[in-house]
């Protein structure tokens, strides 16, 4: 298994100075924003292209074939250092990077603050679309960073497993219902993904010491296997990348998330 060889989170000022042949900047922003302004050389990737749906379950992983085609289309190779960004705080970019982690591609980084920080600090932009030469990437899904419903059901009472629900407190309590049932997976703790971001620093992640304190206050400690989820493993992908950046050794994403769990009458639910 290859190890992470690049920083999990990279600062805008670092990216602006990078000059590397294998650098691939991937912008997950919506088309309108990308067309107005993007980092010079950045290719656009539509977030829906890396998702699969089985309604009402959303946000599943697509097939290896689909991922191979999508990654090849953006010019990605085995040697690419992928830096991902978006316009919304890192959810879409992090979902992409989690997907790369799942297929064993470890050379990736999240742009801290994404396009919000890049634009606010008047860094260089371009409005010309980028069409990269096609790559030849073969995606091979691995199970190290994935957990499914059946596996989760079997480990709900395992003290070595910690569940982090990245949704809003209202969703967690069951007041905001976005599936057949509201509430949360029993034993989960709630850490709304927006709390990881610092609005005073152009939506960068909060400083490392603050992030560690937030997790440890909820008994989310590195000695456990951490499972993150939200509604479709979009918001919780940022939680995943943050935990990875903090050096947590065992993290898994539940892709079906609440869209699966909350719509399955056979799964236990807690409220309040």
pLDDT per residue rounded down to tens, the chain (272 residues): 467 889 999 999 999 999 888 999 999 999 999 999 999 999 999 999 999 999 999 999 999 999 999 999 999 999 999 999 999 999 999 999 999 999 999 999 999 999 999 999 999 999 999 999 988 999 999 999 999 999 999 999 999 999 999 999 999 999 999 999 999 999 999 999 999 999 999 999 999 999 999 999 999 999 999 999 999 999 999 999 999 999 999 999 999 999 999 999 999 999 99
Measured CA to CA, the distance from residue 182 to residue 262 in angstroms comes to 7
Q: Note the pLDDT of residue 1.
A: 44
Strands (E), 102-169: 108-111, 161-165
* Number of helices (H), then strands (E), in the chain: 10, 13
Q: Per residue in 180-198, pLDDT tens?
A: 999 999 999 999 999 999 9
Pairing mode, strands 52-54 and 57-60 = antiparallel
Cβ-based burial of 79 (10 A; exposed 0-12, middle 13-18, buried ≥19): exposed
The pLDDT tens digits of the residues spanning 202-250 come to 999 999 999 999 999 999 999 999 999 999 999 999 999 999 999 999 9
Q: What is the pLDDT of residue 21?
A: 87
Angstrom distance (rounded) from CA 159 to CA 234: 26
Active site residues: 230
CA dihedral 113, 119, 121, 126 (to 10 degrees): 120
Q: Measure the CA–CA gap between 232 and 26, rounded to whole angstroms.
A: 21
Tokens of 239: 């939680």
Q: Which domains does the chain have, with CATH numbers?
A: 9-120 (3.40.250.10), 149-261 (3.40.250.10)
Model pLDDT, residue 97: 98
The percent of residues in the chain predicted with pLDDT above 70, rounded, is 99
Residue with tokens 């309604």: 55
């Amino acid at each position: 298994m290859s190890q992470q060889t690049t920083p999990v989170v990279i600062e805008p000022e670092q990216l602006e100075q990078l000059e590397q042949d294998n650098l691939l900047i991937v912008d997950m922003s919506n088309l309108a924003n990308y067309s107005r302004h993007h980092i010079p050389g950045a290719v656009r990737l539509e977030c829906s292209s890396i998702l699969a749906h089985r309604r009402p379950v959303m946000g599943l992983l697509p097939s290896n074939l689909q991922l191979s085609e999508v990654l090849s289309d953006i010019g990605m190779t085995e040697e690419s250092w992928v830096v991902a960004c978006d316009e919304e705080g890192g959810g879409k970019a992090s979902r992409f990077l989690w997907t790369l982690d799942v297929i064993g591609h470890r050379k990736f980084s999240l742009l801290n603050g994404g396009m919000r920080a890049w634009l606010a600090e008047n860094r260089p932009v371009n409005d010309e679309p980028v069409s990269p030469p096609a790559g030849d990437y073969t995606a091979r899904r691995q199970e190290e960073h994935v957990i499914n419903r059946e596996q989760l059901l079997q480990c709900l009472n395992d003290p070595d497993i910690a569940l982090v629900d990245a949704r809003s407190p209202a969703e967690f309590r069951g007041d905001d219902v976005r599936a057949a049932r509201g509430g949360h997976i029993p034993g989960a703790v709630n850490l709304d993904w927006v709390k990881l971001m610092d609005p005073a620093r152009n939506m960068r992640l909060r400083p490392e010491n603050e992030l560690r304190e937030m997790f440890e206050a909820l008994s989310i400690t590195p000695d456990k296997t951490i499972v993150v989820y939200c509604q479709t493993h979009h918001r919780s992908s940022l939680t995943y990348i943050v935990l990875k950046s903090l050096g947590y050794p065992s993290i898994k994403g539940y892709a079906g998330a609440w869209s699966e769990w909350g719509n399955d009458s056979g799964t236990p639910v807690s409220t309040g």
